[in-house]
Amino acid sequence: MKELSSGDYIIFLVYFIIVASYGLWVYRRKKIVGVSSSKDYFLAEGSLTWWAIGASLIASNISAEQFVAMSGNGFTMGLAISTYEWMAALTLVIVAVFFIPVYLKNKIFTMPQFLHQRYNSTVAMIMAVFWLLLYVIVNLTSILYLGAIAVHGISGIDFKICIALLAIFSIIITLGGMKVIGFTDVIQVFFLILGGLVTTYIAVNKVADHYGTTGIANGLSAMYTHFNDHFHMILKRDNPSYGDVPGLTMLLGGMWIVNLNYWGCNQYITQRALGADLKTARGGILFAAFLKLLMPVIVVLPGIAAYVLFKENVFDVTSHGSIVENHDNAYPVLLNLLPSGFKGLAFAALTAAVVASLAGKANSIATIFTLDIYKKKINPEATEKNLVTVGKITVVVAMIIGVIISPFLGIDKKGGFQFIQEYTGFVSPGIFAMFVLGFFWKKASSNAALFATVGGFAFSVLFKFLPTFCDLHFLASTGFSYKNADSGLWEIPFLDRMGFVFVICIIGMVIISLMDAARGKKTQGLEVDSSMFKTTNGFAVGALIIIGILTALYTAFY
């Protein structure tokens, strides 16, 4: 039933009061101390602890695209979608060791600033515009739309009202600046994890009840026994979801690009650590990596449980229809099975995830526009107060645009999570190539970076539409093509396309850079030395534990 009881509303109100009160306290305390600069507003420079950084990373990352869309993928393909979460844990370790030291040593606060410092202003400005469009048109809109779907599906409140309320709540938090976002994210993560675990526990127990047993262990055993096809991490080519998670090839190529680009070259994420010292930043990122290991339990297992209950006819006919039309409805339908009180807790967890992610995304949009476009091109003489004001206006404008355009992008047709991954994948191979060579190869030139920026996008589009005029069946034996059941064409999975484009960008950048060097063109490298990458013993132990857990998981669920 699409409605909340009075008990559910009370629990949600408690969540709202706690977050709002704590955010107001942090904001007022910050005002007493005084805002020293725009960097304090956008980055919370020097004020976030390791646990606040780690919590903020997860709160900003886990949103409706996971709770709703990844649960939807858990419904259709099973545990295989967890590779995005579990591979991210290892990626975070790599970012903490190799990426963050470069940013902090060279005093880099935004991604366009890195490109300006390493290449030139043209590359930086092109990418600043690229990122703004990507963050607003793909990420912000997807989070708003999927969040509203979930809130509407649970509460029955009109969809338009849901999307507007989510936007307003997020704006209120975002206007307080990164410090308010960072510390309120700690509370958001608490509700997110608690509510998510409760939802998983009750969903799995319902499976156990259906099979005449009790307890979460028996429920998991029943799911694994009766629907074993949903518990494989590596999909075979005849699986309907192979195009989204293409077997072993994704682990050797595209998945690394998705994760390294997202966690290491993304203003939205790196912004949480760029205001801290190296030890604090690394501690926060390692904490986030451990939390990442837990995420599939919260966002994927409920989707699999929903699939089991769906197949066993536990859901009513209306629920059947809504899930068949759009598998992103699996999580909201599942939440409607929860008892009063628990439903309110799950509702609070989902809202916390959506609001925290929206706030982080809006802050990143404001940071890039204000520091990399407004200050450099529109008003170079802007005061610190003026920059903060422009940032706040940008937050409001971006959110309004997101609310207006999100229903028209076809997010519900493809599935929210895959919508975000595929369309972000049009630019991420070129961006990652530009960053990785910019970090570690001093000869990488600005012309080469431009090739990766524009050429990477062009090649991504080419590979996307190549099957419409070229039969790719000949690639089937290599594992790099599959037959799309909807189009009937032999296509390259988008994760594999990303791998191909990345290799092309790297080769192209090397050739262009060597040609520029032969013509005497000088490049401006970053300050990098091997001592930057040395970690503490505690960090090394934590990283080894994560690697051990991942090895065990992939071995058990291969």
Name the token pair of 110. Answer: 């935004």
Residue 77 lies in a domain: yes
Query: Do 354 and 471 share a domain, yes or no?
Result: no
Contact between residue 309 and residue 207 where contact means Cβ atoms under 8 Å apart: yes
Residue 306 lies in a domain: yes
Task: Specify the CATH number for the domain of residue 116.
Answer: 1.20.1730.10
Tell me the whole-structure pTM to 2 decimals.
0.82
Query: Do 414 and 468 share a domain, yes or no?
Result: no
Alpha carbon 547 to its chain centroid, in Å, reads 21
The residue with greater pLDDT, 339 or 487, is 339
Highest mean pLDDT (candidates 81-90, 238-247, 314-323) = 81-90
Spatial distance between the Cα atoms of 526 and 405, rounded to a whole number of angstroms:
40
Query: Do 288 and 436 share a domain, yes or no?
Result: no
Alpha carbon 416 to its chain centroid, in Å, reads 12
Residue 35: the pLDDT is 47
Q: Which of 155-159, 322-326, 385-389 has the lowest mean pLDDT?
A: 322-326
Query: Do 452 and 538 share a domain, yes or no?
Result: no
Burial of 555 (0-12, 13-18, 19+ CB in 10 A): exposed
pLDDT digits (tens, 9 = 90+) for 306-357: 899 888 888 765 554 567 667 777 777 777 777 877 778 777 777 777 877 7
Spatial distance between the Cα atoms of 223 and 469, rounded to a whole number of angstroms:
43
Spatial distance between the Cα atoms of 382 and 159, rounded to a whole number of angstroms:
40
Spatial distance between the Cα atoms of 454 and 457, rounded to a whole number of angstroms:
5
Contact between residue 267 and residue 110 where contact means Cβ atoms under 8 Å apart: yes
Q: Which of 26-30, 161-165, 261-265 has the lowest mean pLDDT?
A: 26-30
Residue 40: the pLDDT is 57
Angle (CA) 450-452-456 rounded to 5° is 125
Residue 81 lies in a domain: yes
Query: Do 187 and 241 share a domain, yes or no?
Result: yes
Residue 348 lies in a domain: yes
Q: Which residues contact 221 (CB under 8 A, 6 or more apart)?
A: none
Query: Do 267 and 416 share a domain, yes or no?
Result: yes
Spatial distance between the Cα atoms of 62 and 66, rounded to a whole number of angstroms:
6
What's the whole-number mean pLDDT along residues 505-526?
A: 91
User: Count of CB atoms within 10 A of residue 519's CB?
Assistant: 9
What length does the chain have?
Answer: 558
pLDDT exceeds cutoff 70 at 434: yes
Residue 116 lies in a domain: yes
Contact between residue 109 and residue 39 where contact means Cβ atoms under 8 Å apart: yes
Spatial distance between the Cα atoms of 360 and 395, rounded to a whole number of angstroms:
10
Query: Do 433 and 412 share a domain, yes or no?
Result: no
Spatial distance between the Cα atoms of 521 and 373, rounded to a whole number of angstroms:
27
Spatial distance between the Cα atoms of 337 and 319, rounded to a whole number of angstroms:
11
Q: Which of 92-96, 171-175, 222-226 has the lowest mean pLDDT?
A: 171-175
Contact between residue 504 and residue 433 where contact means Cβ atoms under 8 Å apart: no
Range of the domain at 460: 428-527
Strand partners, 223: none
108: left (phi over 0), alpha (psi -120 to 50) or beta: beta
- What's the count of helices (H) and strands (E) in the chain, helices before strands? 29, 2
Residue 126: the pLDDT is 87
Spatial distance between the Cα atoms of 498 and 554, rounded to a whole number of angstroms:
23
Query: Do 266 and 366 share a domain, yes or no?
Result: yes
Residue 400: the pLDDT is 92
Contact between residue 430 and residue 453 where contact means Cβ atoms under 8 Å apart: yes
Residue 469 lies in a domain: yes
- How many structural domains comprise the chain? 2
Element (H, E) at 491: strand 490-491
Burial of 479 (0-12, 13-18, 19+ CB in 10 A): middle
Spatial distance between the Cα atoms of 545 and 70, rounded to a whole number of angstroms:
26
In 59-186, DSSP assigns E strands to: none
pLDDT band at 185 (very low <50, low <70, confident <90, very high): low
Query: Do 197 and 342 share a domain, yes or no?
Result: yes
Query: Do 387 and 437 share a domain, yes or no?
Result: no
Query: Do 492 and 413 share a domain, yes or no?
Result: no
What is the overall mean pLDDT for the chain? 83
Residue 1 lies in a domain: no
Residue 76 lies in a domain: yes
Query: Do 328 and 183 share a domain, yes or no?
Result: yes
